[in-house]
């Protein structure tokens, strides 16, 4: 009982620290946090609880621990309510467990006929893999989890070396995409899952350019455009070799950053272009399921943005400027609902798949952590994807599987890096 209570308090503490750093801007990017004694007194928690909260924020990329120097705010922070990675406020174990459950839905859907013909020995192997997933979640240390993952087919992952771990996960991801690309009828199904990394990298490059630092540590070579090619294009401002939409996004985001010196506004511009790019790709494929997947993601982002904007006390103009187009609910409708606070959100989302998430968001407006709200937003997206299990052929199982694997790589990084931070 005491352990569960402490875990809940550490979650609340990490959420509060996130708000202080990202939303309230109490600590600038790159700045050092106060020592543990000062922070624990300010947050009214024990040093043990504080350390657990810090470990989670390290795994999220919000904080960095520099051995012998202290805890620092990351140079590049996610924009409040607009983080494309959807890591904010999530608990690694919960998200990882949800993800593995999703895989149990999607993987059988894509190989249904093969499973029908499988031998008893093959079926036993499938069962062993499912059991191994649980073992990974219950592993006592990062080393134990790494060994289990190796048995499962992953390369060696060392949570103590984030750069090596990221490289290994990226390699596995690329191999998966390459294998799927050989059999997919439309390469754009694969490309859609690479788009967000292009825009993430542009964010890192433009911010690094603005402050005169090297962005290498923040770049993720998992997009349509290699990080080297993208970095050179942004540096030289010769954008003709980039996808047209991405090039236009770079131009507008740089102009906004140069004019306002506000990286949050620049990030909002890039997020808008990102989802516009994804929507266009989905439309080109002619896949109604893929179009719906992009739309439900937009709806999730907009609901998160509305709740966080209200919690920060920012006005309607800011909210309307931050909301994305392309969801089932128009930005004007979301902004109007938000102007009425919790009651407005409940009414607007009451008849949608985000009903429970909106209810949790309305409760979060009273204060307290955003954990439940964030998880329910993701559950709504997962609920849409779960329809793929009823479609044995076509692109739906492929899209569901790709989405689940993307989440898997993200959660493995959170889980392993979080363990490493506690060493």
The CA-atom distances, in angstroms, between 371 and each of 44, 61, 256, 327, 363 are: 20, 17, 32, 23, 11
Give the CATH number of the domain where residue 55 resides. 1.10.10.10
Q: What integer pLDDT is reported at residue 239 of this predicted model?
A: 95
N-term to C-term CA, the chain: 24
Residue 368 Cα to chain centre, angstroms:
21
Judge whether 314 lies within some domain. Answer: yes
Judge whether 79 lies within some domain. Answer: no
Q: Does residue 175 share a domain with residue 201?
A: no
Q: Does residue 234 share a domain with residue 199?
A: yes
3 state DSSP class of 32:
strand
Q: Does residue 369 share a domain with residue 235?
A: yes
For the entire predicted model, the pTM comes to 0.65
Q: What integer pLDDT is reported at residue 93 of this predicted model?
A: 42
Q: Does residue 104 share a domain with residue 50?
A: no
Confidence of residue 116 (pLDDT cuts 50, 70, 90): very low
Instruction: Using the 3D structure, point to which of 131, 161, 184 is the last residue of a domain.
Output: 184
Query: Per residue in 364-394, pLDDT tens?
Result: 998 878 888 988 998 898 888 877 666 656 6
Q: Does residue 159 share a domain with residue 208?
A: no
Q: What are the start-end ranges of the E strands in 97-211?
A: none
Confidence of residue 31 (pLDDT cuts 50, 70, 90): confident
Instruction: Judge contact between 273 and 199, C-beta under 8 A.
Output: yes
Judge whether 59 lies within some domain. Answer: yes
Q: Which helix (H) or strand (E) holds 66?
A: strand 63-66
Which DSSP string corresponds to 304-360? HHHHHHHHHT--HHHHHHHPPSSSSS-HHHHHHHHHTHHHHHHHHHTTSTTHHHHHH
d(CA 218, CA 204) in angstroms, rounded, equals: 6
The CA-atom distances, in angstroms, between 364 and each of 12, 15, 342, 346, 379 are: 12, 11, 9, 12, 17
56 pLDDT more than 80: no
Residue 121 is classified by DSSP as H
Nearby residues of 415 by Cβ (< 8 Å), 6 or more positions away: 59, 92, 93, 96, 137, 145
Judge whether 82 lies within some domain. Answer: no
Judge whether 353 lies within some domain. Answer: yes
Q: What integer pLDDT is reported at residue 393 of this predicted model?
A: 61
Q: What integer pLDDT is reported at residue 369 of this predicted model?
A: 80
Instruction: Using the 3D structure, point to which of 15, 46, 73 is the last residue of a domain.
Output: 73
Torsion, Cα 264 269 271 276, to 10 degrees, reads 170
Q: What integer pLDDT is reported at residue 142 of this predicted model?
A: 60
Q: What integer pLDDT is reported at residue 391 of this predicted model?
A: 62
326 pLDDT more than 90: yes
Instruction: Judge contact between 215 and 207, C-beta under 8 A.
Output: yes
Range of the domain at 64: 2-73
Confidence of residue 165 (pLDDT cuts 50, 70, 90): low
Instruction: Using the 3D structure, point to which of 73, 101, 122 is the last residue of a domain.
Output: 73
Q: CA geometry: angle at 354 spanning 329 and 309, to 5°? A: 70
Q: What integer pLDDT is reported at residue 414 of this predicted model?
A: 60
Q: Does residue 402 share a domain with residue 338?
A: yes
Q: What integer pLDDT is reported at residue 59 of this predicted model?
A: 64
Instruction: Judge contact between 115 and 392, C-beta under 8 A.
Output: no
Q: Does residue 254 share a domain with residue 178?
A: no
Q: Does residue 162 share a domain with residue 39?
A: no
Judge whether 109 lies within some domain. Answer: yes
Mean residue pLDDT across the chain: 77
The CA-atom distances, in angstroms, between 328 and each of 311, 333, 348, 390 are: 24, 10, 12, 23
- Residue burial 323-360, b: 16+ Cβ < 10 Å; e: rest: bbebbebebeebbebbeeebebbbebbeebbbebbbbb
Q: How many distinct structural domains can be found in the chain?
A: 3
Q: What integer pLDDT is reported at residue 282 of this predicted model?
A: 92
Q: Does residue 245 share a domain with residue 362?
A: yes
Burial category of 214 from C-beta neighbours within 10 Å (exposed 0-12, middle 13-18, buried 19 and up): exposed
Q: Does residue 309 share a domain with residue 242?
A: yes
Residue 277 Cα to chain centre, angstroms:
18
Query: In angstroms, what is the C-alpha Rg of the chain?
Result: 21
The CA-atom distances, in angstroms, between 74 and each of 131, 205, 417 are: 36, 15, 15
55 pLDDT more than 80: no
Judge whether 419 lies within some domain. Answer: no
Q: What integer pLDDT is reported at residue 302 of this predicted model?
A: 95
91 pLDDT more than 60: no
Q: Does residue 253 share a domain with residue 108?
A: no
Q: What integer pLDDT is reported at residue 156 of this predicted model?
A: 66
Query: Per residue in 291-300, pLDDT tens?
Result: 999 999 999 9
Judge whether 20 lies within some domain. Answer: yes
Q: Does residue 200 share a domain with residue 161?
A: no
């Amino acid at each position: 009982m005491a352990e569960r209570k402490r875990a809940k308090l550490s979650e609340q503490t990490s959420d509060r620290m996130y708000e202080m750093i990202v939303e309230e801007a109490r600590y600038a990017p790159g700045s050092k946090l106060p020592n543990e004694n000062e922070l624990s007194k300010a947050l009214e928690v024990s040093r043990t609880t504080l350390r657990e909260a810090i470990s989670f924020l390290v795994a999220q990329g919000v904080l960095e621990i520099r051995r012998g120097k202290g805890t620092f705010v990351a140079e590049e922070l996610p924009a409040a309510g607009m983080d494309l990675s959807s890591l904010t406020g999530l608990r690694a174990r919960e998200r990882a467990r949800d993800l593995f459950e999703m895989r149990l839905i999607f993987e059988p859907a894509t190989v249904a006929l093969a499973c029908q013909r499988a031998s008893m020995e093959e079926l036993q192997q499938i069962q062993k893999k499912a059991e191994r997933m649980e073992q990974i979640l219950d592993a006592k240390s990062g080393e134990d989890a790494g060994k289990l993952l190796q048995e499962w087919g992953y390369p060696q992952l060392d949570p103590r070396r984030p750069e090596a771990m990221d490289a290994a996960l990226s390699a596995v991801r690329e191999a998966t995409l390459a294998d799927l690309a050989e059999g997919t009828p439309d390469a754009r199904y694969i490309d859609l899952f690479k788009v967000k990394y292009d825009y993430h990298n542009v964010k890192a490059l433009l911010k690094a350019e603005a402050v005169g630092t090297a962005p290498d540590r923040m770049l993720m070579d998992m997009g349509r455009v290699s990080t080297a090619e993208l970095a050179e294009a942004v540096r030289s401002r010769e954008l003709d070799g980039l996808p047209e939409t991405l090039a236009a996004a770079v131009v507008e985001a740089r102009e906004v950053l140069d004019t306002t010196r506000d990286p949050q506004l620049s990030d909002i511009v890039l997020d808008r272009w990102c989802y516009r790019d994804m929507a266009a790709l989905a439309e080109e494929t002619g896949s109604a399921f893929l179009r719906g997947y992009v739309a439900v993601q937009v709806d999730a982002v907009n609901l998160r943005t509305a709740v966080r904007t209200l919690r920060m006390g920012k006005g309607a103009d800011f909210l309307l400027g931050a909301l994305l187009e392309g969801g089932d609910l128009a930005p004007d409708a979301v902004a109007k609902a938000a102007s009425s606070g919790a009651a407005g959100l409940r009414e607007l989302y009451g008849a949608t798949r985000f009903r429970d998430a909106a209810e949790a968001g309305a409760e979060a407006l009273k204060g307290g952590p955003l954990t439940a709200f964030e998880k329910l937003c993701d559950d709504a997206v997962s609920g849409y994807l779960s329809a793929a299990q009823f479609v044995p052929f076509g692109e739906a199982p492929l899209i569901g599987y790709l989405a689940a694997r993307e989440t898997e790589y993200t959660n493995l990084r959170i889980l392993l890096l979080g363990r490493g931070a506690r060493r």
